[in-house]
Amino acid sequence: MILNKVLYHSVTVFDLITAALILIIAAVIAKVLSLYLRRFLKERIAKEHLEIIAKVVSYSIIVIALLMVLPILGVRLSGLLVAGGIVGLTIGFASQSIIGNLISGIFLMIERPVKIGNSVDIDGTTGIVEDISIIATTLRTFDGLYVRLPNQNVFTSKITNFVANVARRFQYVVGIRYSDDADKSLAIIKNLIEEHPLALKNPEPQAFVDNLGDNAVNIIVWIWSPATEWYGVKMELLWKIKQALEKEGIEIAFPQRVVWFANELRGWEGKRTEPRHPNLGENA
Amino acid sequence: MFGYHDIPLKIVQEGISLSVQKDRGSLVYKRDCLDEHVEKRLLATNGKILVTPVEPLNKPKALTQYLLVEFEKTLAIEPEGTEKIFLTFPIEIGVYISPDKDSEVIDILTLKRQKFTLYGDPRNGIICKYWKSDIFSTMPSVNPIQEGLMELTIANTNAQWVELTKAVFNAYGMKLHYSNTMVSMKASMNLKTRNRAETDFIDSPLKKGMKKSLEVYAARKMSITAPKFIMEFGL
């Protein structure tokens, strides 16, 4: 009978089919179980934890199936352990980048500098983390592009996680004219910040005259906001500050130069009403 | 305003205009409050409308489950003493249709200005809904449409005086009760050390005859495993 036909050593066609069946069943179980876990735990635990749990369960089932299948295929696990070092070395040389990505992936899952759903900047690519697999990390950039970054690159790159902390600070520089009342401007700005629900009460927002610039009195405004909301608050408040200041007659300064002429322009003689520059003297 | 209402319904009170009218086999819900206008068509033909105070966690955005009440003045508690004080807290108003075990809130509104704050540091702290309250030794009168009244029992288990400037609660566990004149809640605060306290809610009305609110998070069947909160970033 064909099922009893020996292929190599004592492994028959039946063993081969059994092994294949075990692997297929394990893959199906892994898939179904991870799907079920995702559905069952979706409302109960955070997305990043859910993904990790689903992957660990899925990979564990596959590994267990492989361990079951290997003896059926005539591979002795004890022999594998002895040969493991040599095989590992060979695999390591042959597939350095894959192993590198895999190890980096494991370390990323342990260290967790980024989580699924976080807004991050990795190696100059800014976006939202869609997935962290064992080999690569997937980002969706803010303009909707799919970017796959090998874990080795992610692990060795500078990572900025915009939402790792619960709150973050942003800043405006508001330049008002020298003729405007800075105290009044500060009061208007502070009042606007106080009225905005997502500008945090604590850490306390700050607004102060930072420097006397070439063209404006520069007011620095520091506002803390929930890390997930800061960009919306930043976009909204700046325009409100500008409108509120202008409503009170305070204008945003723009670059300007006062030019004093040593010799009066002929067409302007007699029309000038402002006093002359004191350094120019009467004969100027 | 609070309680069950038959359809059609029209409520106009303190800047809130709320109506539910039958229209071509379904219901039309309209609401105006401050600058906000909401209009919804409800695919239901009858039922009742429940208007009830709910946890102040939904407006303008459901960002947190914590409520921080800052005291107007610092409160000092004597060693091993127990004090009962009254505080105000913000409320939101939930509108439910056909309220029963599976009811879902159709709208939430509030008349009070909203503010968030950070309790703790930006790395480990938590975002909280912010409210500032005076401390009262007796029950003050408050506007039930805008504010609730909390009876807070503070127990100092330390052998030292403890100063308090705020109380933080896990508001998913709030136990609200209401009547025509008051929205109330009872809570406790156990001062573990000079910098650490545990807060919790007590499911009991402040006065007899008050009705239990249908809280949003209880109604959504969210599993609240620990309504207690440990204040570990200072008092």
How many angstroms separate the CA of residue A201 from the nearest CA in chain B? 5
Beta carbons of B122 and A229 less than 8 Å apart: no
Query: Is there a shared CATH topology between the A2-94 domain and the A113-161 domain?
Result: no
In three-state secondary structure terms, A218 is strand
- The pLDDT of residue A269 is 55
pTM for the full predicted model: 0.71
Residues of A in contact with B113 (CB under 8 A): 195, 197
Between CA A38 and CA A4 the distance in angstroms is 42
Q: Is the pLDDT of residue A270 over 80?
A: no
Q: Is A159 on the interface with B (CB under 8 A)?
A: no
pLDDT tens figures, B42-66: 887 777 888 889 888 888 888 888 9
List the B16-23 sheet strands across, edge first.
Answer: B9-13, B16-23, B26-33, B36-42
Mean pLDDT of A189-210: 91
Rounded CA-CA distance B165/B127 in Å is 17
HEC string for chain B: CCEEEECCEEEEECCEEEEEEEECCEEEEEEEECCEEEEEEECCCCCEEEEEEECCCCCCCCCCCEEEEEEEEEEEECCCCEEEEEEEEECEEEEEECCCCCCCEEEEECCCCCCEEEECCCCCCEEEEEEEECCECCCCCCCCCCEEEEEEEEEECCCCCEEEEEEEEEHHHCCCEECCCCEEEEEEEEECCCCCEEEEEECCCCCCCCEECCCHHHHCCCCCCCCCEEECCCC
The answer to whether residue A228 neighbours chain B at the CB level (below 8 Å) is: yes
- The Cα A122–Cα B199 span in angstroms is 40
Return the CATH number of the domain spanning residue range A113-161. Answer: 2.30.30.60
Sheet holding B162-170, edge to edge: B116-119, B126-133, B66-77, B162-170
Contact B113 A197 (CB under 8 A): yes
Nearest CA distance, A212 vs chain B (angstrom): 32
Please spell the DSSP secondary structure of A113-148, one letter per residue.
SS-TT-EEEETTEEEEEEEE-SSEEEEEETTS-EEE
| B125 vs A44, A166, A201: nearest CB | A166
Residue in A44, A166, A195 nearest the CB of B126: A166
Query: Would you say residue A80 has pLDDT above 70?
Result: no
State phi, psi for B24 to the nearest 5 degrees.
45, 55
CATH architecture for residues A167-247: 2-Layer Sandwich (3.30)
Q: What pLDDT, on the 0 to 100 scale, is given for residue A281?
A: 46
Chain B residue nearest residue A223, CA to CA: B117
Residues in chain B with CB shorter than 8 Å from the CB of A229 are: 61, 63
Three-class DSSP category at A215: coil
Give pLDDT, residue A272. 55
CA dist., res. B208 & res. B153, Å (int): 19
Instruction: Write out the two tokens for A5.
Output: 């036909």
| CB-based contacts of B62, cutoff 8 Å, min separation 6 | none
- Chain A residue with CA closest to B60: the answer is A197
**Displacement of CA B103 from its chain's centroid (Å):** 19
Q: Where are the domains of chain A?
A: 2-94, 113-161, 167-247
Cα distance between residue B97 and residue A97, in whole Å: 59
DSSP, res A3: G
**Could you report the per-residue pLDDT of B84-129, keeping only the tens digit for each?**
999 999 989 988 887 555 677 888 888 888 899 999 888 888 999 9
Query: Is the Cβ pair A166, B114 closer than 8 Å?
Result: no
Identify the band that residue A39 occupies on the pLDDT scale cut at 50, 70 and 90.
confident
CATH architecture for the domain at A2-94 = Orthogonal Bundle (1.10)
Q: Which of B61, B117, B125 sits opposite A201 (nearest CB)?
A: B117
Average pLDDT for B3-30: 84
